[in-house]
Structure formats: C-alpha cells, structure tokens
Amino acid sequence: MQKGSISVQTENIFPIIKKFLYSDHEIFLRELVSNAVDATSKLKALARRGEVSGEIGETKIEIILDKDAKTLTIRDRGIGMTEEEVLKYLNQVAFSSAEEFLEKYKDDASIIGHFGLGFYSAFMVADKVEVKTHSYKEGAKGVTWMCEGDPEYQLEENDKSERGTDVILHINEENNEFLEDHRIQQLLDKYCKFLPIPIQFGTNTETITEGEGEDAEEKEITVDNIINNPEPAWKKQPSELSDEDYKAFYNELYPFSSPPLFWIHLNIDYPFNLTGILYFPKLGNNLEVQKNKIQLYSNQVYVTDNVSDIVPEFLTLLHGVIDSPDIPLNVSRSYLQSDSNVKKITGYITKKVADKLNDLFKKDRENFESKWDDLGVFIKYGNISDEKFYDRAQSFTLVKNVDNKCFTVDEYKESVKENQTDKYDKIVMLYTNDPDGHDMFITAAKDHGYDVLVFDNVIDNHFLQHLEYKLGDITFVRVDSDTIDNLVQKDEKKESVLNEEQETQVVSVFEALDMLAGGNVTAKAMSPEAQPVTITRPEFMRRMKEMQSLQGMQLGDMPDSYNVVINTNHPLIANKLMDEKDAEKQKDLAEYMYKLALLNQNMLKGSALTSFINKSLNFLK
C-alpha cells in the first residue's frame, strides 16, 4: 500500500471546496456523472481510431445506491486510470493557497474539468471517497484510491478486472437525503436527462406477452431503468425530424403541457457552437408563470434554467433548450460570465427568431393571424424591449380590430387615416380592452364611421405607448375615454338646444346626486342619437394608474377620475328633465340616467346596483 499527501500547498483545501466551490451541494452528482460520461466518450473516440483492442462492449453508466452501507456509487466502463494517472489527476490540486486558486480561476471557463475539481465536489456530501479503477491499457493493474476529506490519501492495487471506474461516496450524516431513491432520481432527471451515454439507476418490472392466441402468456421481466435520452432532438439535424418528433420532444421537456404553436431549430458552428430548439408556447395572459422555461446545456450537461444573460428578455417567454460549449461559465458552472461570445449568441437568437416569424408571416399569413393572440405577446414584448427586434418586426407586428381582422401597423394607418386624423394631424387609433364591456361605445364609434382595435393583454399598455413614441404620427385613445364626437378631435362644434342658464341648471341637478368619488359633471351639445348621459375615463389619468398598478405601485388614495357628460341635445335631457317641475321626480330621473351610465361602465356595484335593480323592477310594475 502506498500512502502520501495530496499536493495542496495549504493546510486544507477541503473546507474551502465545501464552502465556496459550489452554490448547491446537489451539484456533486452532475459533476461525477459528467466525469463518467467524459471517460466513456474518450473510450469510444479511442475505439473509433483503433486504439482499443477488442470490442468495447456495453458502455452504460450505473448509479448504485446502498442504504445499508450508506454509499452511493457512480460506475462507468470508460477508459479507467492507471496508478500514474490517478496520482496525476486526483492528487495534484497544487496551488499556493486555496483562496488564490479560487480567485484566479473563478471566471475562467477553461477550468471546468481541470484539476479534478468536479471530482472533489464529492467531498461536499461524503466523509470518505473511494475510487476503484482499471485502465483500458493492456497490462494495467486495478488501483484503489481513498481519501477521507483531508490531504491524506491511500493508494493500493486491487483485483478489479473490468475496465472503467467506480467512484464510491460514503455519504455523511448531514447529507442523508442523497441516500433516498426519489432524491437521486430527481437529480438525475434534472441534471443528466440528456447526457450522451445511457445512465442506469436501478431496474423496472415490465409485463410482456409470449405466444399467440390461447397460448399467449403474460410474463414479468426485469429491465434496466435508463433515466436519460442520449440522443435528444436538438442534437439531430432538422431534416431528420418530423413535426411529431418536435412535439414529442416538447412533451418530454414539459409533460402534460399544451402543444406548442411552432418551434425554431438552432444550429450554428461559427463564430461559436450552438444548437437547440426554441418553442413558442401558448401563453394566455400570464407572463410571469411562463418564464425560466429555457434550459441551458453545455455538451448535453444541464447547467441552468436562468438564461437571461444569453436570451433577450422577451424571449425568456419561449420554452426549449440551448446547448453551447462556448458559453462561458464560472468554476462551478452555476453562473454565466459576460463576454463577447454571449453578446453574439444573444444577437444570433434574436435574428433567428425574427427571421422565423417573418418567414411564417410571408408563407401563410392566414395561419399566422390565427395564432396572433398567443404570438402577439412575444412580438409586442420584443418591440418594447429590443431595438434590433423592433426594427426587424415591423413587417409582421399586427393589430387586430373588434371584427377580428388583422393589419400590419402601416396597413392600419393607411386604412383609418382619412376618417381618424385629428386637428393636430395625428392618426387616432381607437381601441378597447374589453369588447363586451365597451359594446355601447364600440357601436357608437362604428356608427360614426370609426374602426376600433382590441388591446386586452397585460403588456398592451406598454406597447401602445411604445408605438406612439416610435412612430410619432399616431395616438391611441380608448373608446370610452371621451364622448363619441370628441374621440377624434376636430374643430367642429354642435349647437345646443338649451341656453347657457338651462345648461347650468342641468349640471346642478346632476351635481346634487350622490355620486361616486372622482366624478366631474359637464354639459355638452351632441347628436340627439347619442346617449343622454355618458361616463368617460380620461385617457391620460387612466393610463397613469394602469401603468403604476402594473408595476405594483399605487397613486396614494387617489380615486378613479371620470367625467359625467350630459348630452344637452338628447330628448330625455332637453325635454323630459327640463320640463319636470317636481324636484324629487327630476332628481329620480337624473339619478336613473346617471346609474344607467355607471352600469354601462361596470361601475355600479354592491348595494347601489341592488337598489337600482329594485327601482327598475318597481318601475316595470
């Protein structure tokens, strides 16, 4: 038996490794399985070059749990190590101090896999680590290396005859969770699901049928529980994959999810290596729930699902996989490091997505429009947050009206500019965020020859303001923000059938009502066909409140601001209300019209709504 000290020029690197090297103890399994994959991949490469004698046989990796012995073993049938290689790769963590080492290499992508650091993550969870190995080289002898988490190690020959390496972890008390089957299965599913070598964890029982007809007999057989898919879809060429293959892989990534709208297959080898598949999911109206669904891999090793440093913010709504050995990671692979490659990758992904969307729009506009309710979220988000995407997206950014017809922004401007250009030479784009709730306003706008768009997504408030800023010659006005004659401001003015004194009297009748806080009464001469009382919500104040609400801010206790506009030319105002001599009946009539207007804006609630309904029923009686 040989004894010695691991070459660490400090009193003890192990506490430093345990505390600082990895942000999460569970990473140890990823590192050790990745080492086993590397050893197996090297063997296959050597065999292809004819440098391994005979058949290499089965090359799966086994994860073996022994609760009684409190051990977890990672077994590979890769190249193994000679005694000389064990001394070289496992013992030479040689630096002037652990602190200097970590400081020097924490930002260096090339550190991964060097100096046995991945291997030393084992000491985060184990009191003792044994390595039993046998090299593929002819004449090599089996070697066992053992260390108990300090610079002392033991090295001796063993009788292992099979090529490959067993790394045996004697799990310590505080990490007993890693002796549970479900915990190991969870980690393998998370970190090793797409590694390129089959990984077995235990066995499963399957029922098979032997024979046919009356002679058929069901038998139970034991099969290996292979936890990974060594050849995931993103590693294949698009020409090898059908639509069903892409959908099946999506289901593999996100079981029980709705099928994606479509996908983009990434495949580039210059000026960096990157493969992957990005899926456009059906989003609905909840942005936050959908984020952090893109998984980042480095050579099929799972790294993270926080890809905000490589994927533009708006594309974090996409789902899928990105795999690149060129994305720089720190020593623990936990964090991305910013460099020029990352910026190039970000730009590439943005361009690829924009090109795909443009291609879909040009090839099949009808199909593109049918998916707009889901696609629009991505595209609007991209317009707002990414200047380059905005420039590329103008040809396929759509707006949709209440009749379900879609237009590009330029098409829509051309369509409405004749009727909807105001006195300031701005094209007024009318919109609703609630087509059912705003039906009266929409009908009035259509009767006036106007068109009304639908913007009912949480992101639309930002999107409208962004378009106003970028284009300069348009303004968005919600269809209930003013009276119909003033939605598109012109210099025209209608004559009132009431004189100034009568208008003042009408206003005073309404002002005497028990109104909701924030109401402001005005009299206005409009068409006799327009509503007698209209409640409008001024665009500017409403937008401010909505924006602040979206950002989780409050405008103090400021109530909703709204206008109660009295149409002095409507017969119910000009005749019935003005002719009523009984003050109480006059008040009742005014209150009834006011509450009808509130009801139309969904502002009549609680006891006020109950009282109004009862009064209406009594009126019918």
Instruction: State the Cα angle at 276 between 263 and 247, rounded to 5°.
Output: 40
Residue extents of the structural domains in the chain: 2-201, 233-372, 397-486, 500-537+558-620
pLDDT tops 90 at residue 257? no
DSSP H helical ranges for 92-163: 98-105, 117-120
With 0-12 / 13-18 / 19 or more C-beta atoms within 10 angstroms meaning exposed / middle / buried, residue 596 is: middle
Average pLDDT value for residue range 464-471: 93
Lowest mean pLDDT segment, chosen from 10-14, 172-176, 191-195 = 10-14
Query: For residues 144 and 130, is the Cβ–Cβ distance under 8 A?
Result: yes
CATH assignment, 2-201: 3.30.565.10
Mention the CATH class of domain 233-372. Answer: alpha beta
The DSSP symbol for 422 reads: -
pLDDT tens digits along 182-234? 999 999 999 999 999 999 999 888 888 887 777 778 888 888 899 999 999 99
Contact 416, 448 (CB under 8 A): no
Architecture of domain 500-537+558-620: Up-down Bundle (1.20)
Sign, CA torsion 201/205/209/211: positive
Q: What gap in Å lies between CA 27 and CA 432, rounded to an integer?
A: 50
In the sheet with 61-66, reading across from the earlier edge strand, the strands are: 2-5, 152-158, 142-147, 126-134, 164-171, 71-76, 61-66, 199-210, 217-226
CA distance 526 to 25: 72
Structure tokens at 427: 């094209």
Q: Could you give the CA distance from residue 376 to residue 505 in angstroms, rounded to a whole number?
A: 49
- The pLDDT tens digits for 571-612 are 999 898 888 889 899 998 998 999 998 888 888 888 888 988
Provide the pLDDT for residue 557: 45
Q: How far is CA 302 from the centre of its chain?
A: 17
DSSP H or E run through 540: helix 539-550
- How wide is the angle at C-alpha 178 spanned by C-alphas 176 and 182, nearest 5°? 120
Q: Does 397-486 match 2-201 at the fold level?
A: no
Each residue of 139-172: pLDDT tens digit?
899 999 999 877 788 999 999 989 999 999 999 9
Which pTM does this prediction carry? Answer: 0.75
Going by C-alpha positions, the residue among 475, 490, 494 that lies closest to residue 565 is 494
- What CATH number should be reported for the domain whose range is 397-486? 3.40.50.11260
